[in-house]
Structure 1
Amino acid sequence: MKISRDAGMRLLSIDYKYQSLGLAEPAMYAQEDWNEIGTVKRNEHSNNGEKQASVETLAPGKVRWQDFNQEAYVDVTMVRPGQDPYARNKFNQAESDKLQMDRSVPDTRHDQCRRKQWHQDLPATSVVITFHNEARSALLRTIISVLKKSPPHLVKEIILVDDYSDNPEDGALLGKIEKVRVLRNDRREGLMRSRVKGADEAQAKVLTFLDSHCECNEHWLEPLLERVAEDRTRVVSPIIDVINMDNFQYVGASADLKGGFDWNLVFKWDYMTPEQRRTRQGNPVAPIKTPMIAGGLFVMDQSYFEELGKYDMMMDVWGGENLEISFRVWQCGGSLEIIPCSRVGHVFRKQHPYTFPGGSGTVFARNTRRAAEVWMDEYKNFYYAAVPSARNVPYGNIQSRLDLKKKLSCKPFKWYLENVYPELRVPDHQDIAFGALQQGANCLDTLGHFADGVIGVYECHNAGGNQEWALTKDKSVKHMDLCLTVVDRAPGALIKLQGCRENDSRQKWEQFESNSKLRHVGSNLCLDSRNAKNGGLTVEKPSAYFYRGDSAEVERCRVISKGIMAGRSFIYEDVAERALALLPLYVRHAEETSGTPRYRMAGTENTDDKQKE
């Protein structure tokens, strides 16, 4: 294969040598199918079988996606018998490889979306897809789904940015497909700089960013473009359906979710409150204002993207960029929306398939610190209380981003909390502990229940939400405006969530002894999970047996003490700042657009805290 380059653009144009793919030339593009201006001709017959029609005119050297030899392209890197199908991409590549590249997926939209008529004069978009060592089948399926599921006049181009993949042909070969342009980095740049590179080359007035392992659903593009056409300051995202990483089953996601985060600044999905869901019953397909987008899939006006400062070009590889752009859009005059009538599937992985210079935890912490230092004002201290180890990670020079914030007259983070994300609980001076109550691998969890609901334990996800609790100075254990309440002062009595009342003795709890057991003050009974599988947590008499735990683990977690209540342990972590005690000492290790993150314990190595260029 010969690759010719323009030095400035590094756009790849390919003169195929079919033998490199083990193909005879006619298998991919038979010479007689081309006329001198590059029009693909096909024998397409009318009802009487007598007509031959020219389907469409393409640029010289381009083919329709239907004519691209998909099997030959995928076969080169296909998983062979005996190979680990998860090794390269951390999803089941064997399942991906055997699926049709243009497979049908369930139409997961609401019925009202199927009857909706979209504006006819919508602007075209440039679709920017960045990738690094992506599975060929997943990448090709993403491209084909864009072309197949989009009105042709609305897709100006698909710009592939190959972030220095090991095999340049992963992207270069795709340059033969209609509307596809390929850029290749000459070194690893990461998601943010690669996306900016693609956006800078875009010819359309609207940008669409997609991850490289997606599948677009029916009429996914029109509702996104319509919202941006109406207001250029809107940044809009589809509902992100789930493509199972093991069997590639396509599953529709809930339409009752918004993007959010906790003070560890890890993205999470928030369920709408019951009141918000009731409000939406009259118009279930109305746009959803969201405090944060997942970051992998969104549409934005091209000029607004530039005006707003593109991406922070000093962020590396991946992570924290969705946090930064979400804060920036809201605080600087724009808005973020999830559009229910737009659905795009995404493969959610449990770990990254690629390496991070310096480690994924360090890179994520560095990027997150940059976002926090620029956009969160004094509220950044809650992040450092939640993730103390982040203070040891240098974050570089942020002056240009601070200058941008001033130039755009952006609002303070306090405004964001009050007007955009009032659901995020801000720790106050009444809290002596704030975070998670942990029991081995499980954490105290509301289980999604509200007033008068029971509580339980669930696998710790270190993302707050249903596992976020505060122990206050007046001895209440609170989740939002609900407190742990003992129904009866006898062993075996259930604990329920009830509205907090200042002098209600049923809601008073305290830590006692060196093992930090949580005891109900009025009954001297301990919070216990022995009945968790049979209806909820209870209070019980303390056990005489206490397991002290691994002292090395306790030291790493900075736990004051660790004990067992009736054989079950709960952990607290002491943090001096603002009399808070936030538990998580974890660094995110998750796939691009969230899902179910995997966490590992953060390192506590001391580094030079001096910030460098």
Structure 2
Amino acid sequence: MSTEQNSISHTPDRSRAKRVSAVVATRNRPSDIRHLLSAIAAYDSGIVHEVLLVDDASDTPLHTGDTEYPFPVRMLRNATRCGAAASRNLAAKEATGDVLAFLDDDARPLPDWFHILDTALTDQRAAITGRVLPFDSSVVARARQYRYEVRYAKHPAYSPVSFFAGGNSAVWTDHFLSAGGFPDVVTASDNGLVERLAESGGEVCFVPALRVAHRNSKGAGIAFREAWRAGRLAPRSTPAAALRRFADSARTQPWSDDPAAAGLNLSLQAANSLATALPAV
């Protein structure tokens, strides 16, 4: 691809229909992959050019079986675990579509997902991201969903945002490659892409109609590990600032509607705040 084609200022050719390369990073979830591929096939509006599955060193190598789909399914495999960001970047370099659509292996696009993508991703938007809805109902899932909804409520439809749902999003391929893809970090690589696109002059816009159903809960243990890890990787904070974030979180929780989810969210905030206040190692 030429330097001109890699430039963020390049205007994609809108004289033809989008060709979407759906990208899915996965590990040890063959059943989820089968359900996801079936959903993509059922809801494709005619724009899915290919699906790229990146097997992140699953214990048993992923195989899609003998099922035929109306689009090519391309398999890539990491010999050792590399993480979601590196896996998605690998797929992006191999993709032949002009749009990259990112889905999680444990997510299911809603029936209008590809139609919304097709209409909402315009020349003026480098990328779009949407809403994540739960298909599980545990306390951990409800607590996570509440945090999502608080974030969504702050943003009008089609407004620029600083977050990017790596499991529910789409970006022009040339913009993604020009920006250097996802930062290869342990956490917050999704939002790191927003910063990289902004440096190249591109915006991520919030499209609330772009919705997926997602398995929100991986268990309370994982939720606490993620909250602690995010805090340790964040910039250092004073104890007073960490306490203010904890107090702010306590005031905004759904105590009357869902006290169990509220209590869990506050506990997660406590872990995160403490992690940011401890000295760097």
CA distance in 1, matches of 2:227, 2:195: 22
CA distance in 1, matches of 2:242, 2:280: 27
Flag the structure with higher helix content: 2
Residue from 233, 253, 263 that aligns with 1:459:
263
The change in CA–CA distance for 1:294 and 1:342 in structure 2 (over 3 A counts) is closer
Shift in Å, 1:349: 1.5
- The answer (yes or no) to whether the contact 1:237–1:298 under 8 Å persists in 2 is yes
Residue of structure 1 in register with 2:210 after alignment: 342
Q: Which has the larger radius of gyration?
A: 1
Residue of structure 2 in register with 1:145 after alignment: 39
Deviation digits for residues 179-213 of structure 1 (CA, Å, limit 9, x no counterpart): 21111111111111111111111010110111001
Is 1:270 paired with 2:151? yes
Letter in 2 for 1:150: D
Shift in Å, 1:305: 0.4
Q: How does 1:291-330 map to 2 (within 5 A)?
A: 291-313=162-184, 315-316=185-186, 319-330=187-198
- The answer (yes or no) to whether the contact 1:308–1:329 under 8 Å persists in 2 is yes
Q: How does 1:168-179 map to 2 (within 5 A)?
A: 168=61, 170-171=62-63, 173=65, 177=69, 178-179=71-72
CA distance in 1, matches of 2:114, 2:36: 14
CA distance in 1, matches of 2:194, 2:266: 21
Residue of structure 1 in register with 2:133 after alignment: 241
- The answer (yes or no) to whether the contact 1:160–1:171 under 8 Å persists in 2 is no
Shift in Å, 1:448: 7.2
Residue of structure 2 in register with 1:385 after alignment: 237
Letter in 1 for 2:176: F
CA distance in 1, matches of 2:221, 2:33: 15
The change in CA–CA distance for 1:606 and 1:335 in structure 2 (over 3 A counts) is closer
Residue of structure 2 in register with 1:126 after alignment: 21
CA distance in 1, matches of 2:220, 2:243: 33
CA distance in 2, matches of 1:322, 1:228: 18
CA distance in 2, matches of 1:193, 1:146: 23
CA distance in 1, matches of 2:83, 2:94: 17
The change in CA–CA distance for 1:174 and 1:238 in structure 2 (over 3 A counts) is farther
The change in CA–CA distance for 1:175 and 1:158 in structure 2 (over 3 A counts) is farther
Residue from 416, 421, 436 that aligns with 2:246:
436
Residue of structure 2 in register with 1:115 after alignment: none
Identity %, equivalent residues:
21
Deviation digits for residues 264-314 of structure 1 (CA, Å, limit 9, x no counterpart): xxxx842536xx7xxx6xxxxx4243231233221000010011111223x
Number of corresponding residues: 256
Is 1:585 paired with 2:274? yes
- Aligned-residue CA RMSD (Å): 4.2
Deviation digits for residues 385-431 of structure 1 (CA, Å, limit 9, x no counterpart): 16x8xxxxxxxxxxxxxxxxxxxxxxxxxxxxxxxxxxxxxx9xxx8
CA distance in 2, matches of 1:155, 1:167: 27
Flag the structure with higher strand content: 1
Residue of structure 1 in register with 2:10 after alignment: none
Q: Which runs of 5+ in 2 are unaligned?
A: 1-13, 139-144
Is 1:202 paired with 2:95? yes
CA distance in 1, matches of 2:226, 2:252: 31
Counterpart secondary structure, 1:342 = strand
- The answer (yes or no) to whether the contact 2:131–2:152 under 8 Å persists in 1 is no
Letter in 1 for 2:209: C
TM-score in terms of structure 2 length = 0.73
Residue from 51, 54, 57 that aligns with 1:164:
57
Counterpart secondary structure, 2:236 = helix
CA distance in 2, matches of 1:322, 1:463: 24
Letter in 1 for 2:203: S
CA distance in 2, matches of 1:365, 1:151: 41
Residue of structure 1 in register with 2:11 after alignment: none
The change in CA–CA distance for 1:351 and 1:330 in structure 2 (over 3 A counts) is farther
Shift in Å, 1:174: 6.6
The change in CA–CA distance for 1:445 and 1:364 in structure 2 (over 3 A counts) is closer
- The answer (yes or no) to whether the contact 1:159–1:202 under 8 Å persists in 2 is yes
Deviation digits for residues 472-508 of structure 1 (CA, Å, limit 9, x no counterpart): xxxxxxxxxxxxxxxxxxxxxxxxxxxxxxxxxxxxx
- The answer (yes or no) to whether the contact 1:245–1:347 under 8 Å persists in 2 is no
- The answer (yes or no) to whether the contact 2:194–2:204 under 8 Å persists in 1 is yes
Shift in Å, 1:606: 7.7
Shift in Å, 1:175: 8.0
Q: How does 1:513-592 map to 2 (within 5 A)?
A: 584-586=273-275
Shift in Å, 1:120: 10
The change in CA–CA distance for 1:269 and 1:325 in structure 2 (over 3 A counts) is farther
The change in CA–CA distance for 1:351 and 1:323 in structure 2 (over 3 A counts) is farther
Residue of structure 1 in register with 2:112 after alignment: 219
Residue of structure 2 in register with 1:290 after alignment: 161
Letter in 2 for 1:199: A
Shift in Å, 1:432: 11
Greater RCO structure (CA 8 Å; 6+ sep) = 2
Q: Which runs of 5+ in 1 are unaligned?
A: 1-118, 247-252, 260-267, 281-285, 370-382, 389-426, 450-455, 469-556, 558-582, 588-601, 608-613
